[in-house]
Every structure is written in C-alpha cells, then in structure tokens.
A = this chain, B = another copy of it.
Amino acid sequence: SSASSSQGKPDADSKQPGYETLVVTSENGITKIMLNRPTKKNAITTQMYQEIMLALEAAAKDDSAITVLTGNGDYYCSGNDLNNFTDIPPGGVEEKAKNSAILLRDFVGCFIDFPKPLIAVVNGPAVGISVTLLGLFDIVYASDRATFHTPFSHLGQSPEGCSSYMFPKIMGSAKAAEMLIFGKKLTAREACAQGLVTEVFPDSTFQKEVWTRLKAYSKLPPNAMRISKQLIRNVEKEKLHAINSEESSVLQGRWLSDECTNAIMNFLSRKAKL
C-alpha cells in the first residue's frame, strides 16, 4: 500500500519486537505505531487494544520527540471488532460488559495521559472509536480518501473516547450531534472544516507530504513541545478522565440492552452471509 511504500521499509533495527497486531518503529525522533490487520480493515481486537496500550506506554518513555498512529492498508481503522462481543466469559454477558468497559476506560485513559505530541496519520476510512479518539490527538492529518463515521445509534450504542465532550467543543453542538447521535458520515474535507482534522492532503502525495512535515516537526526542541502539550492538556485532564469513566459506564449498560444485542446480531449475521 501507499502507506508503507512511500515511507520506505523501516530498518530491521527500528522495528520493535513483541507486537502481533501492530508494527511499531522508532527512528529520527518519531515513534510510529501502525495498526496491522489490513485484511480486517484494522478492526481493533481485544489483543490489539492491549498492544496499543503497551506501545503508547513505551513511546511515552522512549527518546522520540513525537508519536504517530496510523493504519496499514486501505483503512485507517474500522473501529471496535464486533467479534469481540462473541467471546463470552464464564461469568456471562454481564461480566463481558463489565470487562469491556474497564478495557475501554483504560485504553482511552492512555490517550488522555499521553505526555508527548501525538499525531494521527489517517490514511483511509475511520470508524467508531478510531474517530472519537481523534479529539485527544494534537494533530490529525488525513488523506482525501479518509471518511469519519460513528454509527453508534445504529448499533444501539453511545459515544466514547471523550467525544461526548470533545466533539461539541471542537465543532459545536449542532455538528457534533449529527455525527454522534445520528451517525452522519463526514468526508475528510468536512471533518477538516469542522476542526476534527488539522489538514487534508491528496491521497497520491499524502504520505510524502505528511512525513516531510513530521520529520521537520520532530527536530524542534523536544522538552518545549512536551511541556506545551501538557500545558494544553492539563487544563482538562481531570475532566477528561471523569468523562471517560462516565462514557464507559453508560456503554456497559448499552451493551446489555436489547437495542445493542439485536443490532450486533444483525450485523454479524449479515457478514456471515457474504
């Protein structure tokens, strides 16, 4: 895909071992975390949630100046893998919902607390939690092929990733609600006009333009950047954690509702027929 080709192959040295669902590299002051389930549109499995958290914790401590999240292949990320819902523990669906809410809260918490500039390189369509989390990034660069879709109501669910707070703050309530409540899908240009995306690039030159800029940014004084990012974040860090807890708790209830169960059943049975 263009994602890997235009950056060239990472050095064997720079690729970090131990990840099955990600490719994590670190060079030139930039740690790059690439979602690597391209045949599944980078849908996030339980394992991938855990690995992203580990990769963020490592990136927070390494000597890179900035950290990048991107996707391998045509998609940036298709959101939560709905097959996660089919793996029911002995404690039943209630335990499943409880565990999922804890995982979600911890996962989003890593993005709230991340101490360095965090950049999303949105190489293609983004769905669900991969969209809502963008409100917690410092920069969001998007290919003009990218779209932004949060069909929570369609799935009987509700917003997460602090989007119930950040999206109205970023784009105003009248734009945010059409996305979060009614599942309106945005183009990259629309998402940029509404402030969710920093800048949109033609797909043909996306990787080249973005990485040229990121390499320049990564050479700025790293302490100044880290301190500036934390100054901006600290204003609302406590509030973001409270919102994250509330969103996760509401979703725990949603996952046990008929609306959600029926919607996910329908989705999975439609997929099975394809």
Using CB atoms and an 8 Å cutoff, list the residues of chain A in contact with chain B: 117, 134-140, 152-159, 164-166, 168-178, 180-183, 193-199, 217, 220-221, 223-225, 227-229, 231-232, 234-235, 243, 246-247, 250, 253-254, 257, 259-260, 263
Contacts and interface: CB of A to CB of B under 8 A. Distances in A.
B174 A171 contact: no
A9 to B, nearest CB: 27
A159 B228 contact: yes
Given A169-B169, A180-B232, A229-B181, A220 B174 contact: no
Given A117-B181, A159-B232, A195 B194 contact: yes
A253 to B, nearest CB: 8
Nearest to A253: B227
A224 B176 CA distance: 16
Given A117-B182, A153-B220, A177-B198, 6 more contacts: A134-B174, A135-B173, A138-B173, A221-B259, A227-B253, A231-B246
A227 B252 CA distance: 12
Contacts of A168: 169, 232
A182 B169 CA distance: 22
A178 B193 CA distance: 15
Contact of A224 (B140, B152, B194, B247): B152
A120 B154 CA distance: 22
Contacts of A223: 156, 257, 259
Contacts of A135: 173
B259 A224 contact: yes
Given A134-B174, A254-B224, A259-B224, A231 B164 contact: yes
A169 B223 CA distance: 24
Contact of A177 (B117, B197, B243): B117
A231 B158 contact: yes
A148 to B, nearest CB: 12
Contacts of A164: 228, 231-232, 235
Residue of A134, A229, A235, A247 contacting most chain B CB atoms (<10 Å): A235
A163 to B, nearest CB: 9
